[in-house]
Amino acid sequence: MTLPPEESLILVNEQNRKVGTGFKLDVHQRGLLHRAFSIFVFNQSGQLLLQQRAEGKYHSGGLWTNTCCGHPRPGELTVNAARRRLQEEMGFECPLLNVGTLTYHARVSNELIEHEFDYVYVGRYEAEPRPDPNEACAWKWIDLETLNAQLASQPELFTVWFKQIIQQPGAQLHALKERAARAPTATG
């Protein structure tokens, strides 16, 4: 297990107003509400790009999750952070559309708590990603019917936040797929 760097996160209240900053590990140990983003990238066939988190991640290693997640740095616009992390984690860029926000609270492994004010972005991409192996050990394009069947039969293979996000109104997989269909397509 690799501990996260002493990265600062933006602490917010329920209205998404900044109330301070905190170090990543401490924020997750204490379950403090902080700003984050989740990205769902689809291809023209409507398949979702999933990543399998690297085994060495400080939590949820080896689990499947949405295309990319992360946190903006203090002073960084959330959309810019999303673009940066998509490139850093998955090795590509594509136009991203913000389709809303949601708040969730979930206990993850190692006694850590995700409590996030989460911006949800969708995009479209038509090439193979080039993930950083320290971030993602595998990836796959998956159709939503197959994914829903896997979520029902083997929920333990997926991150807690992925399962929580896609249960939120407006963030169900088919709704995200429809919204992504309106995004410009990047081809690598």
Active site residues: 69, 116
Residues whose CB is less than 8 angstroms from the CB of residue 11 and which lie 6 or more positions away in sequence, other chains included: 18, 19, 20, 21, 22, 27, 32, 33, 34
